[in-house]
């Protein structure tokens, strides 16, 4: 999986990367960047964004397109069956073990 930016500045992709759309959870605190939502390309291995990269206000995920088959619950079942643990980030450095 590789990413490059060509001379025009357009993203070019070799391989699949999901696009996530985020928006500030609290638009009162939002900056221009996150107030109306923004799209973010994330590798599947990247942790989900929880804060706006510009202003740090908490954000929520609007859309995800992880077209890797199956539902999220199916993914959880497979991960569980494979012996993985799922951690939910609660705050800075804090994680809740979901299984
Ligand atoms: Zn922001």
Q: Is 48 found in the same domain as 64?
A: yes
- Whole-number Å distance, alpha carbon 26 to ligand 1 midpoint, is 10
| pLDDT per position as a tens digit, 53-76 | 999 999 998 865 555 544 556 667
- Whole-number Å distance, alpha carbon 20 to ligand 1 midpoint, is 15
Q: Which domain holds residue 79?
A: 69-99
Residue 21's SS3 state is: strand
Question: pTM for this structure?
Answer: 0.46
Q: Is 49 found in the same domain as 33?
A: yes
| Inside any domain, residue 1 | no
Residues 6+ apart with CB under 8 A from 50: 58, 59, 89
| pLDDT per position as a tens digit, 26-53 | 999 999 999 999 988 877 777 778 999 9
- Whole-number Å distance, alpha carbon 74 to ligand 1 midpoint, is 33
């Amino acid at each position: 999986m590789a990413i490059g930016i060509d001379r025009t500045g357009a993203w070019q992709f070799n391989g699949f990367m999901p696009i996530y759309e985020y928006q500030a959870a609290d638009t009162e605190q939002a900056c221009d960047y996150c107030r109306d939502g923004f799209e973010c390309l994330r590798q599947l291995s990247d942790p989900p964004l929880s804060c706006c990269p510009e202003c740090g206000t908490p954000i929520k995920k609007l859309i995800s397109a992880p077209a890797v088959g199956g539902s999220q619950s199916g993914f959880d079942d497979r991960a569980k069956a494979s012996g993985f643990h799922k951690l939910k980030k609660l705050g800075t450095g804090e994680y809740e073990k979901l299984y």
